[in-house]
Every structure is written in C-alpha cells, then in structure tokens.
Structure 1
Amino acid sequence: MTERIDGHTILIGLMAYPIRHSMSPTMHNNAFAKLGLNYAYLAFDVTAEKLPAAINALRTLDMRGSNISMPNKQKVIPLLDKLDPAAEMVGAVNTIVNDDGVLTGYTTDGIGFMKALDDEGIDIRGHKMTLAGAGGAGTAIAVQAALDGVSELSIFNLHDAEWDNAVRNVKLINERTDCHATLHALEDRDDFKAEIQDSFIYTDSTGVGMKPLEGQTLIDDPSWFRKDLVVFDTVYAPRMTKLMAVAQAAGVEHVFNGLGMMLEQGAAAFKLWTGEDMPVDYIHQILFDDETDAAN
C-alpha cells in the first residue's frame, strides 16, 4: 500500500456509520494494486449529522467519489447535483462520482444482482420474477431488473414499515418501465406459493437467514420449488442459508447466495470511478479463499 501512495494518489471514500467492519476497503485497495491504479480507498465513520460536511469535503479535497451506506443512502440525495435514473427510481444512493466538482449519485446494488446472474449464465430478461422484500436491497433489485427487461415482477412484503415503499416501487416500475409489477401481501401464503411456481426466478431480499435470523427461512417446504426454478438469496453470510438448503433439497439446479451480488456491486462502483473492470475473481480469492460460496 505504501509503495503505491504518492503525491498523485486519488482518494475514494466510504461514508457510513458504523462502518469499520466493512470489507470494501480490502476489496477496492487490492483491486487498485492488482491493476496498478494510483487510488486509495478509506472508510470514514460519517453519521447523518456529519454528512453535509463530509460531502462538502468530497468536493473540497477533489476526491474521485465515495460509497455511501446506512444511514446515509437516502439523506445524501439532496446534497448531490445529479442522480442516475436507477438511483432516482430507487430513492437511494450507494455510490457517488465526482466529475470536476459535479457529484452524481448511483445505485449499484441492482446492477450487482443482474451481473451476478449473468456471470452464472442466467438471463432473467423477458421472464417473471417473484421477489420477497421491499427494503433497500429489494428496491434496487426490483428497479434494475425492470429497467433491464424483466417482463413481470411480483413483489411480496409484510404489512410493515416497508409496505408504503413497496407501493411506491410498483407504481414507479409500471409508469417508467415495460415491466408489469404487482404487490402482494407476504402474509398470504397460498398466493406466495402460486406466484413462485409461476416464475422463472425467486429472489429473497429480506435478510431472513442472516444474523440474527440465521437458520430461518420464509419457505421451508421443498414442494414450493420446481427443479428448473432459479433461487437467489441475497444473504452471503452464512454461505449456505436455510432457504438455499430447502431449494437444494427440492433438486433446484440453480441456487445462489448473495456473494456474487456483493462483489459485482463493488465492481460496478469501481468501474464508475476508474473506467476499469475490477478483477473480481482475484478479489474473491483474497476475501473468501478459504471458503466456498455454496452456489450451484
């Protein structure tokens, strides 16, 4: 690292709170080193109260950009100059690019989801997806999938704090894309099962299956799944979630966790800042060399 830093090093940040646990600095700095790029990526504890000053510093220090995570993904929007169309629809930003003082906000979570599937040879464009969850990840996935050509989208959510966001998502997708989106109550188990069985892919973006809900799943009956269904769980820790185990017990051929999505959303941000492709396979080895991703 010290061999690469000099008077010309370009700084990129990560602004969130808390954030010291993040794998993003390891991911990006190793990618910069591998490609011989004179960039450095640092994590900054930035609360919502400190966010305006932090964004001003991004301009003042001529940083190339920054990743943004909770609790700042929505709060940063009024502080930016422009939004990518997907970020505007999602209503959240996880990546900022600074072009000579003009700050543009992007969301790369949905891009990461679509690219992770492409990497596995799975093309869901023109097909129907059933999606559980309308939080941050679910919204980004729904919007990007609709923009990229998924033909039909059935979104399931509980009648909780995210229900209104799900209503908004469906409205925007139907107004601004060619995808037909519908909203369903997750409490209606018969409807949930029927929509999954009528889909090309089922995606769980709820976080059920990760701590503190490790070992839990929205679906514990293998009969819900066809062998030719694609099952995608956005959780990547643990590598094998309860949902994935149920799908595999049903003989589902294509079962994936969120590891590929996590790596590819970082790669999308890397491309926006540098114009270069992140060496994803190399980064996977560094971060997860002693583990398997439990995906088929």
Structure 2
Amino acid sequence: MEDFYSVLLGHFGYPINHKPTRVMYEAGLRAMGLNWRYLLVNVRRESLPGAIAGLRAFEMRGANLTMPLKTEVIPYLDALDDSARLTGAVNTILNEEGKLTGYNTDGQGQYDAMMQAGVDPGGKRIVLLGAGGAARAIGVVNALHGAERIIVINRSRERGEAVAECIRAAGGSASFLRWEPGMALPGADIVVNATPVGLSPDTGRPDISYDSIHPGMVVSDAVMNPPRTPFLIEAERRGAKTVDGLSMLVCQGVYSVEIWTGRRPPARAMADALRRCFFNGMEGQKET
C-alpha cells in the first residue's frame, strides 16, 4: 500500500508568499527520492511562539526563517550550533524528536558559492558592504576560513562596529569604515554586497566609486533576484570575477537539506528549479 505520509518542512516569515525557496527545496527532495513537503508559512513576529509550538506539535523535521525571526527565535530553541551562536542568528531549525537546534547557513552558503567558483577566501582581504544579518554571517564564516582581514563598510557606525566585533569574536581580523556616497573602496581581493540594493524591482547598485573594482578582483552579491544584478554587471564590465546570489542561495539550501536529512542533495536540481522559476517570471524576494 502506498505511504501517503509526508515529512514536513517549512519556511517561516512575513510576508513569504512569493519566496522561491519552496520550488528549490522540493526539487532537491524529489531528486533524492524523498516524499517530503516544504511549506511557506506566514509568521509574524508576535506569532513566533505559536509557530514554534506548531513545529513541535506537527513533528515537522525543521524550518527556515527570515528576519526578524532569525534573532527572535533563539529563546525558543533548545540548542545552537556554532554557526548560530557566533552570528547570533538562526535561519535553519532541526527538530530531533522534539529537541530544536538552530543553525545559520547564510555565511556557509556564500563561502561554498565562492569555493565552487574557484575562489578561496583564505588569506584574502575582503570588503563587506552592509551590516545586517547576512553581512554578519558572511563575515564570521569567511573569518573562520582564514580571511586575512575583513573591512565592514556601513552607514551606521553602531551596526558596522557590531559586525566587526562579531567577526573579531570569531577569531578574525576586522575593522569598520563609514560608508560615504561614492566612496573609493580600500584595497581588497574580494568585495561582497550584503545589502538589499539591486533587489528587484530596484535597479540600483551600491553607491561606491566603481573605479575601485578592477580585473583580478572577485565581486560577490547576496541579492539573488535578479541573479545578475546591476552591481555584478558593472563589476564584470570592469573585468572582475563575479559570484551571484542565486548560487549562494542554492548552497545555503544544500547545507540546510543536509542538516535535515543527513544526505547531500543534488545542487543542480535545486539550481535548475530556481532558474526556471525566475525565467517564468516569478517575483522572488531576497533571502535575508
């Protein structure tokens, strides 16, 4: 007799109706031969305690979270992986017989995407644009993988210094620079945009001097819709090697599925599903 039971996963956030993660995860799970379902669940900040109780009650295997839930979920969890503890944010929950453990795959996703593109941040100087949750995770993971120095550039000194301190707490070398309009970037091997600038329908790009970007530099963008942002297009025009946010999202997803299943899913199936999603005109939102 056919087994109709499906293991449940979810993505909690608000608004979440147009997140493309469902098609990506379900494509990967199908390719693994798993009868699992991934649900998009609108969860507001005030509903978070009930959502976590529901995750336990429905015996869901796990969930992803978007901001601001990434930080606010921590008191409701039983344990944190080092990735979540060091960044102070959780984007992936694993449920093991009622014990909930929080992980953060944001930084690892960006690191893996760079490595797949043949870029090793070990020993490199990195300029990090922005000081949100994604910037914090990316900075910490690259520090753990041996980046020589990370320079955090942000308009808010308080937030930028906090990210730099978080990187230093993880054993990395970091400093802060205040973001001034049209500023020239300090010398670096890698530049990472961890701001939402360029996210569809925005057609802008970070307000820097693009004379700072040159051949031999690597430019990475956490924005995944569109995959080729105005920032990356300009960097390519100036001869830089680029790594897009869609690749980062796929690598994050691969890591999350591995946490939930103990098996590595086929990244190609997940990436192809996302690209079809955008080709067909689905309007996604940034994975923050």
The TM-score normalised by the length of structure 1 is 0.88
Q: 2:176 aligns with which of 173, 183, 205?
A: 183
Once the two structures are TM-superposed, the CA of residue 173 in structure 1 deviates from its matched residue by: 2.0
Q: Could you tell me which residue of structure 2 aligns to residue 247 of structure 1?
A: 235
Give yes or no for contact 1:10–1:38 (8 Å, CA) kept in 2. yes
Closer, same or farther: CA 61–132 of 1 in aligned 2, 3 Å:
same
Structure 1 unaligned runs (5+)?
292-296
Instruction: Give per-residue Cα distances to partners, 1:164-219, cap 9 Å, x unaligned.
Output: 23222222322331x210011011755x42x1xx2110111112122453133323
Instruction: Give per-residue Cα distances to partners, 1:125-167, cap 9 Å, x unaligned.
Output: 12110111011211111111112221210010002xxx42322
Instruction: Give per-residue Cα distances to partners, 1:102-124, cap 9 Å, x unaligned.
Output: 11111111111001011111111
Q: 1:232 aligns with which of 220, 229, 245?
A: 220
Q: Could you tell me which residue of structure 2 aligns to residue 127 of structure 1?
A: 124
Q: Could you tell me which residue of structure 2 aligns to residue 277 of structure 1?
A: 264
Closer, same or farther: CA 73–5 of 1 in aligned 2, 3 Å:
farther
Give yes or no for contact 1:218–1:243 (8 Å, CA) kept in 2. no
- Matching of residues 1-296 of structure 1 within 5 Å: 6-7=4-5, 9-159=6-156, 163-177=157-171, 179-187=172-180, 192-193=184-185, 195=186, 198-219=187-208, 221=210, 223-252=211-240, 254-289=241-276
| Equivalences, count | 278
What is the percent sequence identity of the aligned residues?
Answer: 35
Closer, same or farther: CA 4–124 of 1 in aligned 2, 3 Å:
farther
AA in 2 matched with 1:6 = F
Separation in 2 of the partners of 1:216 and 1:149? 28
AA in 2 matched with 1:103 = L
- Where do 4+ consecutive residues of structure 1 move more than 4 Å? none
AA in 2 matched with 1:237 = N
Closer, same or farther: CA 171–45 of 1 in aligned 2, 3 Å:
same
Give yes or no for contact 2:121–2:145 (8 Å, CA) kept in 1. no
Considering Cα pairs closer than 8 Å and 6+ residues apart, tell me whether 1 or 2 has the greater RCO. Answer: 2
Task: Give SS of 2:67's match.
Answer: coil
Instruction: Give per-residue Cα distances to partners, 1:201-254, cap 9 Å, x unaligned.
Output: 011111212245313332353x312211101122222233222222222222x1
